[in-house]
């Protein structure tokens, strides 16, 4: 299997000295689920949207992070966001095809994927079939701010001791399960399905 590599669905940011006063650093890891399209989209847009956020400009970093997570979802659903996700899906497929050329061949599996992969439909809403978790840290004027979505977490290590800076965002708590159902989704085998 020499030359064959597994497709990576993660992306990250490490943007130093951003914002009008260059006094904010942003770090984030975005773990693609069902593909890398959304993780790549968030990588491209997270910092730009964050520094344009009104709450950020007022110095409310906590609120700005929350709003920016929601903004990423919102922008992926507009016309331009959907078009960009389709381009990312096409690019990801082309990269996968190149990577698999040097790897083990499984024509039956390739055919099966083509038949059931809903992202292959030209009219597919890519954001409905893929997503990403996110773990972000902002350092602003000497203070640390953490935000996460999904089962990703931030941990701060100090003198060899790990301190949890976030809580995994899982669908099991009743309040979260209820929120998911109200949004048109459902939980199956510990995973969020639907919207």
Residues with Cβ within 8 Å of 26's Cβ and at least 6 positions away in sequence, in order, are 13, 14, 15, 18, 46, 47, 50, 136, 137, 138
Q: What DSSP letter does each residue of 115-138 carry, written as one string?
A: HH-GGGSTT--GGGT-EEEEEEEE
CATH code: domain 10-152 is: 3.60.40.10
Q: pTM of the entire structure?
A: 0.77
- How do the domains of the chain map onto residue ranges? 10-152
Burial (CB < 10 A; 0-12, 13-18, 19+), residue 88, is buried
Matching residue, tokens 């048109």: 184
Per-residue model confidence as pLDDT tens for the chain (195 residues): 333 344 567 899 999 999 999 999 999 999 987 788 899 999 999 999 999 999 999 999 999 999 999 999 999 989 999 889 888 888 877 776 676 665 555 556 555 555 566 666 667 776 667 788 899 999 999 999 999 998 888 999 999 999 999 888 777 778 888 877 887 778 877 777 765
């Amino acid at each position: 299997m020499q030359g064959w590599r597994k497709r990576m669905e993660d992306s990250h940011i490490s943007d130093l000295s951003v914002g009008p006063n260059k006094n904010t650093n942003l770090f984030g890891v975005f773990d693609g689920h069902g593909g890398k399209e959304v993780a790549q989209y968030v990588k491209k847009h997270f910092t730009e949207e964050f520094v344009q956020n009104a709450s950020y400009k007022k110095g409310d970093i906590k609120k700005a992070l929350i709003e920016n997570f929601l903004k990423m979802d919102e922008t992926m659903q507009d016309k331009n966001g959907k078009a960009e996700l389709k381009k990312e899906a096409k690019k990801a497929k082309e990269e996968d095809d190149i990577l698999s050329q040097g790897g083990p061949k499984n024509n039956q599996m390739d055919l099966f994927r083509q038949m059931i992969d809903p992202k292959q439909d030209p009219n597919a809403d890519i954001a409905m079939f893929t997503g990403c978790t996110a773990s972000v840290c902002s350092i602003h004027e000497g203070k640390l701010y953490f935000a996460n979505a999904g089962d990703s977490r931030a941990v701060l290590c100090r003198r060899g001791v790990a301190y949890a800076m976030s809580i995994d965002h899982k669908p099991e708590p009743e309040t979260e399960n209820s929120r998911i159902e109200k949004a048109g989704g459902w939980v199956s085998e510990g995973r969020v399905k639907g919207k």
